[in-house]
Amino acid sequence: MRTWLEWIGVAVAIWVVAIGVLFLFGRRLAARELATLLPNLVRMCRTLLRDPRVSRSSKVLVGFAVLWFISPIDLVPEFIPVLGPLDDALLAALVVRHLVKRAGRGVVAEAWPGDPATLERMLRLARVR
């Protein structure tokens, strides 16, 4: 249990440093989006897990993704700059893409608690039309 907490602490520290660097370089909008992205993804996943319009198989996939994000074992270690969080970001994009295809764009948009422009940017990156 202690190892899990240490890994989560490291991931949060990297996230906070990335937000600070963006802010220092004048990228305030990007810093704000990054600061709210993780909490918004967690809230969206929690909402979609309770939504009856989302299939059971999609809920299992969301649960797997949440476990992947909090797991200390990654394909690329988190402490490697830029590449570390890449596997998590790729998995998040694939899960969101799957949810949009299965449950519909409207269901995902309803569950997204953040700025709609951020969701649209994520969907563009995931190549969702």
- What are the pLDDT digits (tens) for 49-82? 999 999 999 999 988 888 877 776 766 666 666 6
Domain ranges of the chain: 35-125
What percent of the chain has pLDDT above 90?
19
* Torsion sign across C-alpha atoms 93, 99, 105, 108: negative
Buried b (16+ CB within 10 A) or exposed e, 21-36: ebeeeeeeeebbbbbb
**Distance from chain centroid for Cα 31:** 15
How deeply is 124 buried, as exposed, middle or buried, from its count of CB atoms within 10 A (0-12, 13-18, 19+)? exposed
Query: Tell me: the pLDDT tens digits for 20-36?
Result: 777 778 777 777 776 77
pTM for the model: 0.68
Q: Among candidates 33, 24, 20, 12, which has minimal Cα distance to 125? A: 33
